[in-house]
Copies of this chain bind each other. A is one copy, B any other.
Amino acid sequence: MPNRQLAIPQQECADCPIRHRAVCARCETDELEHLESIKYYRKFEAGQTVVWAGDKMDFVASVIEGVASLTQTMEDGRRQMVGLLLPSDFLGRPNRDTAPYDVVASTDVMLCCFRRAPFQKLIAENANISQRLLEMTLDELDAAREWMLLLGRKTAREKIASLLSIIARRDASLKDLPSKGEVSFDLPLTREAMADYLGLTLETVSRQMSALKRDDVIRLEGKRHITIPDFDLLMDETGDDADGGMLV
């Protein structure tokens, strides 16, 4: 099931919606020009696999829009999501040519891909990119550690609340809205994908979603659109302390 490569009109970096958050955030105009020359867009539809674990991967990329997940699968089929890539997040590892995880588009996704070899060269030479990549990787490590607390110690209800708050916050920040009071957004994940994120079964996810709805912590319009009447109320359900493990 190879992903055919479509010719997609490329945006210029200057107009890019994630210009100031992505790996290129600190680049100057001349550096952007260099990036323009090694970049190409790829589009994936919801459900499509971007790369399979073990596949050769000759690019790295920024997520421009949409949501993609990194997932590990055990022989007997148990699956655990280990990364959730939202717009501006970085995909791939320079210096590695084989994907260690399945990468799947959760929604329609647009990637800004950079050919790996020249990108690697760029990193070696260009501090603005490599420094930014280090910063983003450290942020991801922090997020992974929060996630570990969630997986290891939180209850099902707390896990759901935590996931919703994470998505709500990222979504709000993308739209430059505050994440307090009433907040609403589209869930980019199926119940099954939520279960894979949280280390639960999809039945448990569904039950806890119903419970949160019953308790007026969330409202559902359709299966995917979620309204949080009071963000603080949701935060109370996450198990995190008030200052919220908010890392600076």
A153 close to chain B: CB less than 8 A: yes
CB pair B135 A95 closer than 8 Å: yes
CB pair A100 B142 closer than 8 Å: yes
Interface 1/0s, chain A 52-81, versus B by CB < 8 A?
000000000000000000101011001110
Tell me, in angstroms, the Cα distance from A134 to B93 when the chains sit together.
10
- Which residues, 142 to 174 on A, are CB-close (under 8 Å) to B? 142, 144-149, 151-153
Q: How many protomers of this protein does the assembly include? A: 2
**Which of B146, B151, B241 is A199 in contact with, Cβ under 8 Å?**
B151
- Which residues, 196 to 248 on A, are CB-close (under 8 Å) to B? 198-199, 239-241, 245, 247-248
A49 close to chain B: CB less than 8 A: no
> Which B residue sits closest to A54, measured CB to CB?
B243
CB pair B134 A72 closer than 8 Å: no
**Given A70-B145, A130-B130, A130-B134, residue A153 in contact with residue B80 (CB < 8 A):** yes
CB pair A149 B100 closer than 8 Å: no
CB pair A247 B153 closer than 8 Å: no
Interface 1/0s, chain A 87-100, versus B by CB < 8 A?
00000010110101
CB pair A82 B145 closer than 8 Å: yes
Count A-side interface residues using an 8 Å CB cutoff. Answer: 44
**Given A152-B199, A153-B80, A248-B98, residue A72 in contact with residue B145 (CB < 8 A):** yes
CB pair A153 B93 closer than 8 Å: no
> Which B residue sits closest to A196, measured CB to CB?
B152
> Shortest distance in angstroms between A242's beta carbon and chain B's nearest beta carbon?
9
17 contacts between A and B (CB under 8 A): A75-B241, A79-B153, A80-B148, A82-B145, A82-B148, A100-B142, A124-B127, A124-B131, A130-B131, A130-B134, A133-B134, A134-B134, A137-B141, A141-B141, A141-B144, A144-B145, A153-B199
| Leading 9 A-B pairs by shortest Cβ distance | A152-B199, A151-B151, A82-B145, A144-B144, A80-B152, A80-B149, A78-B153, A151-B152, A134-B134
